[in-house]
Structure 1
Amino acid sequence: MSTLPLVYHASYSQLALPSNHRFPISKYHALYNYLLSQGIATPSQFISPTKADFEYLAALHDQSYVKGFISGELDSKLMRRIGFPWSEHLVERSLYSVAGTALTCKLAIKHGCALHLSGGYHHAHQHFGSGYCIFNDLALAAVHSLQIDNIETVLIFDCDVHQGDGTATMMATQEQIITSSIHCQQNFPSRKQISDYDIELSRGTSDKDYLETVKQTLSYLIRLHKPDLIIYDAGVDIHTDDNLGYFDVSTDGIRERDNEVIRQAKMAKIPIACVIGGGYSKDMAKLSLLHSQLFSAANNIWQSTGSSS
């Protein structure tokens, strides 16, 4: 494949939420349109996932939790913890999005790099969802990827501003999966879990310190663990203007971070699967620009170095 594989499904933004809801559900479709309108992507690059089935989800999540959510019979307290009202559209988009990250990993392994216009649902735990996350696509995709030939170690490199607490708990006994979370210490979730590598930064952390932390952490993890696949959560809620962030990272800082992560993976000849993660601005044009930094970075490195396949 001479162009970068991109994974997207129209269901990602097909969810009706109250006008005052904090989650910008329209961002996925807005990003899709933005990438096309700015010439960052072409229609031929997009690949649609099929829905995740019960067996795939129940490989890590509690069966009763999976059944309860899909059927709409989940306890109301558990739904409130997730943060979305239940609907059939919520089920649809969740199943497609979870499968989308697995597909992104498969494409990355085949082509060297692939990106998902969703994903990063790292607050989902085995028995419950939290923080707008229902099923943990990162954990599920990592475990699923171990079934692919020559994939023996997977690194989940989470740069969302919030700790990947669900990923930490779900992967705690998975020795072949390395979890790393670089996040704001004084932010959701209030009760942090234990990843293999947790790097907690203070509120107000700006470009220089943040970028140096990302650079050194990823370099160290690559040298130490020599992963066969990197799953990168490129959350833009690190941005200085994000509604739920608390860091002071600029738009240029996000671009530099994404360039650095993809460059290191490419230099080490490690396939990298990217998901867009968090980003909570209500300004869709601005949010699309921020998320597009990941795709521009991947394009630049892809075009300058070519495919590794």
Structure 2
Amino acid sequence: MIKIAFDPIYAHELPENHRFPMLKYELIPAQLLHEGTCHPEQFFSPKSCTKDVILWTHDAEYLTKLVDQSLSASEQRRIGFPQSELLVRRELIITQGTIDACHFALESGVSLNVAGGTHHAFADRGEGFCLLNDMAIASNYLLKHQLASKILIIDLDVHQGNGTASLLQNESRVFTFSMHGATNYPFHKEKSDLDIGLSDGTDGVTYLSILAETLPRLIKDEKPDFIFYLSGVDILATDKLGRLSVSLADCKERDRFVFSLCKQHEIPVVVALGGGYSPDIKDIVEAHCNTFRLAMDFFS
């Protein structure tokens, strides 16, 4: 059975200025259950990630600041949210959800997190709405427990995975691949193992062509035995922050292509959702739900 990590903290529990960006995390499971794509027993609520696991990736001083709510005003501005105990608890749950999903993916081929993809978090700081880097933490978890020997992170959010690149730059067993808007946030890019910067206005045909030229070769050359896939939907033409011109259908085709390669090569994959900032929440939810629908089609 394909298992899905679901953060039990609801948008209405958060401060008012946090609610809209968090609303999708309630609506996505509701839609998947309503249409019958997923069933209640597939969803699980993770516990909080433990301190020792986080410290394999993040600095102790930074974690203490998060837990003690002692971030400076400038550190909070860099993250984009004022600090709150609820947000930290949510981030700890999301991170554990990605770790738990690794175990489920090893059993069923795929597992998904209705959140995660917090790729702007660095060892000593958060940025861009990201406090802890769930995929970097989960990668180190897999390596520490000898559950994977070579990991490929496929980051297709419109924003470069700068925190992920920095955190894993000296870990040869993890290959970081980020395809993102060249002139979009973050304005200072870190160096992933492979970065592909896309011009503003890149359309779906061009986007899919570049991905088709790149990803099969990466899998052939790197021979990963585990994949993380950050399936951000801020590549959509409707996205207010994305600056690309990718259609909903082409975004769906992107997911189909990634899953087809994982299935073909029998590589377990954990999916986290990443960004999506279209003004109409329906566009965000539909694009994310397509990722889940395709995962069910390929791996059920």
Fold-level match, TM-score > 0.5? yes
Match of 2:110 among 96, 110, 113: 113
Cross-structure match for 1:5: 3
| TM-score normalised per structure 1 | 0.93
The answer to whether the 8 A contact 1:14-1:93 is kept is no
Distance in 1 between residues matched to 2:54 and 2:147, nearest whole Å: 23
Letter of the 2:68 partner, please give it: S
The reply to whether residue 131 of structure 1 matches residue 158 of structure 2 is no
Q: 1:282: Cα distance to partner?
A: 3.9
Letter of the 1:94 partner, please give it: E
Cross-structure match for 2:214: 217
Match of 1:177 among 155, 174, 177: 174
Decide which moves more: 276-285 or 162-171. 276-285
The reply to whether residue 80 of structure 1 matches residue 80 of structure 2 is no
Q: 1:17: Cα distance to partner?
A: 3.7
Which structure 2 residue ranges, 5 or more long, are not aligned?
A: none
Q: What RMSD over aligned residues (CA atoms) do the two structures have, in Å?
A: 1.5
SS at match of 2:36: coil
Cross-structure match for 1:258: 255
Deviations 1:76-112 (A, max 9, x none): 2111110111111111111101111111122112221
Change (3 A) 1:244 1:113: same
Decide which moves more: 243-252 or 46-55. 46-55
Letter of the 1:10 partner, please give it: P
Cross-structure match for 1:143: 140
Distance in 1 between residues matched to 2:74 and 2:13, nearest whole Å: 21
SS at match of 2:148: coil
Cross-structure match for 1:156: 153
Deviations 1:196-251 (A, max 9, x none): 00011101111111011122221011100110100000000000001110110001
Letter of the 1:207 partner, please give it: G
Q: 1:15: Cα distance to partner?
A: 4.9
The answer to whether the 8 A contact 1:150-1:228 is kept is no
The answer to whether the 8 A contact 1:123-1:136 is kept is yes
Distance in 2 between residues matched to 1:23 and 1:280, nearest whole Å: 10
Distance in 2 between residues matched to 1:17 and 1:263, nearest whole Å: 40
Letter of the 1:157 partner, please give it: I
Q: 1:291: Cα distance to partner?
A: 0.5
Q: 1:38: Cα distance to partner?
A: 1.6
Match of 1:97 among 94, 97, 100: 94
- The count of aligned residue pairs is 300
Which structure 1 residue ranges, 5 or more long, are not aligned?
A: 304-309
Q: 1:57: Cα distance to partner?
A: 1.3
The answer to whether the 8 A contact 2:238-2:279 is kept is no
